[in-house]
């Protein structure tokens, strides 16, 4: 249960997040080339109703109005991603000045509105040219190209960014895009275990190269981290045995991604399980991969429940949720607010992460009719309040949670679901593209202004969203 009054630190970062392919549109404008998602969307049957991101929410042309909306909401930060295809159309080599000009204008507009710009370098939309040339992350050349791309971004934008995320969710663009869900995720190809494991290695190697490139190219020390969606392990009971089991499960289940990044070595269970299909690598690559980070970003949506299982070799076991377990708008989106406490706690205990940001957290609305003046998204309001309450517990107990970015600022292109699922604080009419704050936006705005959960709502200033 939420306490009656839960204040947050004065410097806590309240924001919202989007991704380039999901909101920008202008897919063939001003020199942008195709990404793997542009190509994937044109594969018959890949995306519901044949939807694509050609227009998306037209953030490319409407960003000034969107920043004004952010300011009206009281957001202190905006996490956006940069389209690699827009700024370096071939993935390597020639830089597109018009592409960088868009992001410079966006960043300057955010700063002018008093909103911190946080940039993600890669949110799944690999330039298709690199897929054609190298097989994408199958090749170490893609990792080196990513390091060069990071260098270019840092040179042009680094002096104005509040923070940089190298990558977003390895599991989605690798495990799903390369084999587990090739019909739902770009580039939509089926590869062998050996190829997938090597691609995983190249991707985290690219992350390490990007961290080093940002620090070498930027004229000042800009905080660098990543945004990852680890298995959000939660002990089935708060007993010492179950807590220890969940902690060990958390480390093992991200043994191919976060464990090497923070420890400089793959989890032994991962290498043992993969056997002869395990990635091949050099010690120098592992040193690059484990370049120290300034923060870790966690995208937290659904829990993975774990119990102590001394009868098993691992000593832990996952407890599966049945069909009656509550979900929020998506088949995979199990409701479990305690993830906001346990993931920061385990990351802090295991890796002594200096700072933690919740880089995504939110839930979906189903497809709805257009023209509604107000969206009473009570499920999202409940989801938001309960997740923030358990995040507050982590902060109160001393774990270094420094910021929260709600997913998402506005309804947008939801990948294989097209425009049939809505994660936004703001409703977007798919015909007119008009933005309308939902009830959740009003509630979030009040939380930000009070910098607290609960308590008495203070007198509202003129023009505030709440009526």
Q: Indicate which residue of 169, 228, 252, 414 is catalytic.
A: 169
* 173-194 CB burial, b ≥16 within 10 A, e <16: bbbbbbbeebebbbbbbebeee
* 399-436 CB burial, b ≥16 within 10 A, e <16: bbbbbbbbbbbbbbbbbbbbbebbbbbbbbebeebebb
Rounded Cα distance, 126 and 123, in Å: 8
Q: Indicate which residue of 228, 252, 274, 360 is catalytic.
A: 360
- Let me know if 284 is a catalytic residue: no
- pLDDT tens for the chain, 467 residues: list them: 444 689 999 999 999 999 999 999 999 999 999 999 999 999 999 999 999 999 999 999 999 999 999 999 999 999 999 999 999 999 999 999 999 999 999 999 999 999 999 999 999 999 999 999 999 999 999 999 999 999 999 999 999 999 999 999 999 999 999 988 888 999 999 999 999 999 999 999 999 999 999 999 997 899 999 999 999 999 999 999 999 999 999 999 999 999 999 999 999 999 999 999 999 999 999 999 999 999 999 999 999 999 999 999 999 999 999 999 999 999 999 999 999 999 999 999 999 999 999 999 999 987 655 555 678 999 999 999 999 999 999 999 999 999 999 999 999 999 999 999 999 999 999 999 999 999 999 999 999 999 999 865 545 444 444 33
Report yes or no on whether pTM surpasses 0.75: yes
Per-residue pLDDT of 324-351, as tens digits, reads 999 999 999 999 999 999 999 999 999 9
- Let me know if 272 is a catalytic residue: no
Rounded Cα distance, 363 and 327, in Å: 9
């Amino acid at each position: 249960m939420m306490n009656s009054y839960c204040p947050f630190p004065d410097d806590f970062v309240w924001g919202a997040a989007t991704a380039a392919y999901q909101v920008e549109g202008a897919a063939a404008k001003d020199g942008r080339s195709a990404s793997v998602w542009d190509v994937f969307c044109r594969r018959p049957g890949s995306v519901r109703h044949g939807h694509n991101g050609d227009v998306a929410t037209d953030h490319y042309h409407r960003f000034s109005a969107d920043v004004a909306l952010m300011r009206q909401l009281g957001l202190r930060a905006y996490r956006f991603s940069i389209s690699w295809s827009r700024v370096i159309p071939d993935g390597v080599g020639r830089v597109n000045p018009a592409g960088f000009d868009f992001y410079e204008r966006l960043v300057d507009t955010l700063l002018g509105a008093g909103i911190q710009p946080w940039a993600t370098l890669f949110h799944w939309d690999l330039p298709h040219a690199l897929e054609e040339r190298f097989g994408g992350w199958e090749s170490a050349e893609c990792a080196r190209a990513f390091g060069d791309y990071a260098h270019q971004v840092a040179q042009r934008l680094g002096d104005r960014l509040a923070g940089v995320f190298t990558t977003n969710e390895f599991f989605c663009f690798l495990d799903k895009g390369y084999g587990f869900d090739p019909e739902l995720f770009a580039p939509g190809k089926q590869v062998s275990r050996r190829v997938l494991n090597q691609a995983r290695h190249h991707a985290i190697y690219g992350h390490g190269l990007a961290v080093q490139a940002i620090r070498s190219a930027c004229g000042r020390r800009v905080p660098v981290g990543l945004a990852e969606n680890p298995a959000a392990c939660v002990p089935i009971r708060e007993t010492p045995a179950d807590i220890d089991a969940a902690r060990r499960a958390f480390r093992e289940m991200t043994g191919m991604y976060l464990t090497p990044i923070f420890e400089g070595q793959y989890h032994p269970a991962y290498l043992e399980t993969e056997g002869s299909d395990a990635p091949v690598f050099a010690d120098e690559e592992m040193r690059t991969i484990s370049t120290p980070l300034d923060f870790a970003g966690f995208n937290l949506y659904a829990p993975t429940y774990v119990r102590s299982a001394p009868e098993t070799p691992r000593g832990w076991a996952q407890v599966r949720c049945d069909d009656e377990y509550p979900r929020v708008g998506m088949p995979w989106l199990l409701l479990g607010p305690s993830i906001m406490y346990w993931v920061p706690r385990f990351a802090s205990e295991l890796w002594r992460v200096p700072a933690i940001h919740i880089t995504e957290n939110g839930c979906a609305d189903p497809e709805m009719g257009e023209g509604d003046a107000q969206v009473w998204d009570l499920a999202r309001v409940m989801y938001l309040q309960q997740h923030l309450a358990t995040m507050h517990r982590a902060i109160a107990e001393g774990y270094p949670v420094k910021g929260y970015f709600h997913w998402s600022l506005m309804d947008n292109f939801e990948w294989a679901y097209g425009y049939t699922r809505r994660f936004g604080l703001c409703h977007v009419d798919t015909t007119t593209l008009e933005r309308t704050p939902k009830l959740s936006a009003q509630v979030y705005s009040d939380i930000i202004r009070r910098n607290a959960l609960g308590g008495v709502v203070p007198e509202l200033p003129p023009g505030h969203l709440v009526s």
